[in-house]
Structure 1
Amino acid sequence: MTNFKTDYLKEEPLLGDVRESKGLTVIEFGAPWCPICQKAQPAIEEVLNKQAGLTHLKVFDGEGKPLGRAFKIKLWPTLVLLKDGEEIAREVRPMNADAVSKVFSSLAVH
Protein backbone atom coordinates (compact mmCIF):
# COMPACT_ATOMS: atom_id res chain seq x y z
CA MET A 1 0.00 0.00 0.00
CA THR A 2 1.27 3.45 -0.89
CA ASN A 3 0.56 6.18 1.64
CA PHE A 4 3.23 8.57 0.42
CA LYS A 5 2.11 11.41 -1.84
CA THR A 6 4.66 12.63 -4.34
CA ASP A 7 2.91 15.90 -5.20
CA TYR A 8 2.06 18.84 -3.02
CA LEU A 9 -1.64 19.63 -2.68
CA LYS A 10 -2.88 22.30 -5.08
CA GLU A 11 -4.85 23.86 -2.23
CA GLU A 12 -3.99 23.40 1.41
CA PRO A 13 -6.72 21.94 3.61
CA LEU A 14 -8.56 24.17 6.05
CA LEU A 15 -7.52 23.94 9.71
CA GLY A 16 -11.08 22.99 10.70
CA ASP A 17 -11.08 20.08 8.25
CA VAL A 18 -7.72 18.88 9.56
CA ARG A 19 -8.95 19.09 13.16
CA GLU A 20 -12.02 17.00 12.24
CA SER A 21 -9.97 14.24 10.58
CA LYS A 22 -10.26 10.72 11.97
CA GLY A 23 -7.46 8.21 12.40
CA LEU A 24 -3.80 8.94 11.73
CA THR A 25 -2.73 11.78 9.49
CA VAL A 26 0.78 13.02 8.73
CA ILE A 27 1.03 16.56 7.43
CA GLU A 28 4.29 17.18 5.62
CA PHE A 29 5.01 20.90 5.39
CA GLY A 30 7.57 21.92 2.79
CA ALA A 31 8.09 23.30 -0.70
CA PRO A 32 8.88 21.57 -4.00
CA TRP A 33 11.86 23.85 -4.66
CA CYS A 34 13.39 23.32 -1.18
CA PRO A 35 16.61 21.25 -1.47
CA ILE A 36 16.31 19.98 2.11
CA CYS A 37 12.75 18.82 1.41
CA GLN A 38 13.90 17.10 -1.78
CA LYS A 39 16.71 15.30 0.04
CA ALA A 40 14.29 14.04 2.73
CA GLN A 41 11.78 12.54 0.28
CA PRO A 42 13.23 9.00 0.02
CA ALA A 43 13.29 8.59 3.82
CA ILE A 44 9.78 9.99 4.22
CA GLU A 45 8.47 7.75 1.45
CA GLU A 46 10.14 4.65 2.93
CA VAL A 47 8.63 5.12 6.38
CA LEU A 48 5.17 6.35 5.40
CA ASN A 49 4.64 3.42 3.06
CA LYS A 50 5.22 1.03 5.98
CA GLN A 51 2.43 2.58 8.08
CA ALA A 52 -1.02 1.04 7.81
CA GLY A 53 -4.13 3.22 7.68
CA LEU A 54 -2.32 6.51 7.36
CA THR A 55 -3.32 9.66 5.48
CA HIS A 56 -0.46 11.79 4.12
CA LEU A 57 -1.13 15.46 3.40
CA LYS A 58 1.76 17.09 1.57
CA VAL A 59 1.29 20.82 2.08
CA PHE A 60 3.16 23.46 0.06
CA ASP A 61 3.95 25.87 2.86
CA GLY A 62 5.11 29.46 2.67
CA GLU A 63 4.71 32.96 3.98
CA GLY A 64 1.09 33.77 4.73
CA LYS A 65 -0.14 30.18 4.39
CA PRO A 66 -2.65 29.72 7.22
CA LEU A 67 -2.21 26.01 7.93
CA GLY A 68 1.55 26.30 8.40
CA ARG A 69 1.09 29.30 10.65
CA ALA A 70 -1.55 27.48 12.72
CA PHE A 71 0.99 24.70 13.34
CA LYS A 72 3.82 27.23 13.93
CA ILE A 73 6.00 25.75 11.19
CA LYS A 74 9.43 27.39 11.05
CA LEU A 75 11.61 24.92 9.09
CA TRP A 76 11.01 22.53 6.21
CA PRO A 77 10.33 19.77 5.96
CA THR A 78 8.32 19.35 9.13
CA LEU A 79 6.18 16.26 9.70
CA VAL A 80 3.23 16.65 12.06
CA LEU A 81 1.45 13.48 13.18
CA LEU A 82 -2.21 13.85 14.11
CA LYS A 83 -4.47 11.32 15.75
CA ASP A 84 -8.14 12.19 15.31
CA GLY A 85 -7.16 15.75 14.42
CA GLU A 86 -4.91 16.40 17.43
CA GLU A 87 -1.14 16.72 17.16
CA ILE A 88 0.67 13.94 18.98
CA ALA A 89 4.17 14.30 17.51
CA ARG A 90 6.34 16.20 15.07
CA GLU A 91 9.74 15.84 13.51
CA VAL A 92 11.60 18.77 12.01
CA ARG A 93 13.98 18.20 9.09
CA PRO A 94 14.11 14.40 9.20
CA MET A 95 16.97 13.38 6.93
CA ASN A 96 16.88 9.60 7.27
CA ALA A 97 14.38 6.83 7.93
CA ASP A 98 15.26 6.66 11.64
CA ALA A 99 14.45 10.35 12.06
CA VAL A 100 11.16 9.98 10.15
CA SER A 101 10.25 6.95 12.28
CA LYS A 102 10.61 9.03 15.47
CA VAL A 103 7.32 10.74 14.69
CA PHE A 104 5.58 7.37 15.05
CA SER A 105 7.23 6.40 18.34
CA SER A 106 4.57 8.33 20.24
CA LEU A 107 1.88 5.96 18.99
CA ALA A 108 2.81 3.45 21.70
CA VAL A 109 1.61 5.92 24.36
CA HIS A 110 -1.51 7.23 22.60
Structure 2
Amino acid sequence: MSMNTEYAKTAPERAEIDALTAPTVVEFGTDWCGHCRAAQPLIAQAFQGHGDIAHMKIEDGKSRALGRSFRVTLWPTLVFMLGGKEVARVVRPRDAAEVRDALALIDEPLAQ
Protein backbone atom coordinates (compact mmCIF):
# COMPACT_ATOMS: atom_id res chain seq x y z
CA MET A 1 0.00 0.00 0.00
CA SER A 2 1.28 3.46 -0.75
CA MET A 3 0.68 6.81 0.84
CA ASN A 4 -2.94 7.98 0.88
CA THR A 5 -3.67 11.50 -0.30
CA GLU A 6 -7.09 12.16 1.27
CA TYR A 7 -8.34 12.00 4.85
CA ALA A 8 -11.04 9.37 5.38
CA LYS A 9 -14.25 10.90 6.71
CA THR A 10 -15.09 7.79 8.71
CA ALA A 11 -12.64 6.16 11.09
CA PRO A 12 -12.23 2.53 12.00
CA GLU A 13 -12.72 1.45 15.59
CA ARG A 14 -9.67 1.58 17.85
CA ALA A 15 -9.83 -2.21 18.23
CA GLU A 16 -9.35 -2.55 14.45
CA ILE A 17 -6.24 -0.37 14.59
CA ASP A 18 -4.85 -2.28 17.58
CA ALA A 19 -5.42 -5.58 15.74
CA LEU A 20 -3.24 -4.57 12.76
CA THR A 21 -0.12 -6.69 12.54
CA ALA A 22 1.49 -5.02 9.53
CA PRO A 23 3.56 -1.83 9.83
CA THR A 24 1.08 1.03 9.63
CA VAL A 25 1.13 4.82 9.83
CA VAL A 26 -2.07 6.41 11.10
CA GLU A 27 -2.19 10.09 10.20
CA PHE A 28 -4.68 12.40 11.89
CA GLY A 29 -5.60 15.78 10.41
CA THR A 30 -8.05 17.54 8.10
CA ASP A 31 -8.07 18.68 4.49
CA TRP A 32 -8.51 22.34 5.51
CA CYS A 33 -5.65 22.40 8.07
CA GLY A 34 -2.75 24.56 6.89
CA HIS A 35 -0.20 22.55 8.88
CA CYS A 36 -1.56 19.34 7.35
CA ARG A 37 -1.36 20.68 3.81
CA ALA A 38 2.18 22.01 4.38
CA ALA A 39 3.34 18.63 5.71
CA GLN A 40 2.06 16.55 2.78
CA PRO A 41 5.10 17.00 0.49
CA LEU A 42 7.42 16.08 3.39
CA ILE A 43 5.37 13.00 4.22
CA ALA A 44 5.26 11.97 0.55
CA GLN A 45 9.02 12.38 0.24
CA ALA A 46 9.61 10.27 3.36
CA PHE A 47 7.29 7.51 2.13
CA GLN A 48 9.34 6.99 -1.03
CA GLY A 49 10.87 3.55 -0.73
CA HIS A 50 8.41 2.51 1.98
CA GLY A 51 5.49 1.51 -0.24
CA ASP A 52 4.93 -1.67 1.74
CA ILE A 53 3.90 0.30 4.85
CA ALA A 54 0.16 0.91 5.19
CA HIS A 55 -0.86 4.56 5.48
CA MET A 56 -4.23 5.49 6.94
CA LYS A 57 -5.28 9.15 6.82
CA ILE A 58 -8.11 9.80 9.25
CA GLU A 59 -10.02 13.07 9.50
CA ASP A 60 -9.89 14.24 13.09
CA GLY A 61 -11.89 16.67 15.21
CA LYS A 62 -13.20 17.30 18.71
CA SER A 63 -15.88 14.62 18.64
CA ARG A 64 -13.78 11.99 16.85
CA ALA A 65 -13.21 9.03 19.15
CA LEU A 66 -10.20 7.51 17.36
CA GLY A 67 -8.11 10.66 17.57
CA ARG A 68 -9.03 11.11 21.22
CA SER A 69 -8.03 7.51 21.97
CA PHE A 70 -4.55 8.36 20.63
CA ARG A 71 -4.54 11.67 22.56
CA VAL A 72 -4.12 13.70 19.38
CA THR A 73 -4.04 17.43 20.11
CA LEU A 74 -2.25 18.92 17.08
CA TRP A 75 -2.49 18.20 13.36
CA PRO A 76 -1.05 16.50 11.56
CA THR A 77 -0.11 13.75 13.98
CA LEU A 78 1.43 10.61 12.52
CA VAL A 79 1.36 7.49 14.69
CA PHE A 80 3.76 4.74 13.59
CA MET A 81 2.51 1.29 14.58
CA LEU A 82 3.96 -2.19 14.47
CA GLY A 83 2.05 -5.22 15.66
CA GLY A 84 -0.80 -3.03 16.88
CA LYS A 85 1.47 -0.99 19.17
CA GLU A 86 2.62 2.60 18.84
CA VAL A 87 6.36 2.68 18.16
CA ALA A 88 6.83 6.36 17.28
CA ARG A 89 4.92 9.58 16.79
CA VAL A 90 5.63 12.68 14.74
CA VAL A 91 3.60 15.84 15.27
CA ARG A 92 3.69 18.63 12.69
CA PRO A 93 6.79 17.39 10.87
CA ARG A 94 9.17 20.11 9.77
CA ASP A 95 11.28 17.95 7.46
CA ALA A 96 11.10 14.60 5.71
CA ALA A 97 13.89 13.18 7.88
CA GLU A 98 11.64 13.16 10.97
CA VAL A 99 9.09 11.02 9.16
CA ARG A 100 11.73 8.87 7.46
CA ASP A 101 13.40 8.09 10.81
CA ALA A 102 10.08 7.00 12.31
CA LEU A 103 9.29 4.91 9.22
CA ALA A 104 12.62 3.12 9.63
CA LEU A 105 11.57 2.02 13.13
CA ILE A 106 8.60 0.10 11.78
CA ASP A 107 10.14 -0.96 8.45
CA GLU A 108 13.34 -2.54 9.83
CA PRO A 109 11.66 -5.72 11.12
CA LEU A 110 10.52 -6.43 7.55
CA ALA A 111 14.11 -6.46 6.32
CA GLN A 112 15.24 -8.98 8.93
- For normalisation by structure 2, the TM-score amounts to 0.88
Counterpart amino acid of residue 48 in structure 2: N
Structure 1 gaps, min length 5: none
Counterpart amino acid of residue 10 in structure 1: K
Q: Secondary structure at the match of 1:23?
A: coil
Offset, 1:35 = 0.4
The 1-side partners of 2:51 and 2:37 are apart by: 24
The 2-side partners of 1:88 and 1:39 are apart by: 24
1:17 aligned partner: 16
Is contact 1:91–1:102 with CA below 8 Å preserved after alignment? no
Q: Deviations over 1:8-56 (max 9, x none)?
A: 1131111010011111000011111000100000010111232142110
Structure 2 gaps, min length 5: none
- Number of aligned residue pairs: 108
- For normalisation by structure 1, the TM-score amounts to 0.89
Q: Secondary structure at the match of 1:11?
A: coil
Q: Secondary structure at the match of 2:55?
A: strand
2:70 aligned partner: 71
1:5 aligned partner: 4
The 1-side partners of 2:56 and 2:35 are apart by: 18
RMSD across aligned C-alpha pairs, in angstroms? 1.6
The 1-side partners of 2:16 and 2:36 are apart by: 25
Q: Percent identity?
A: 36
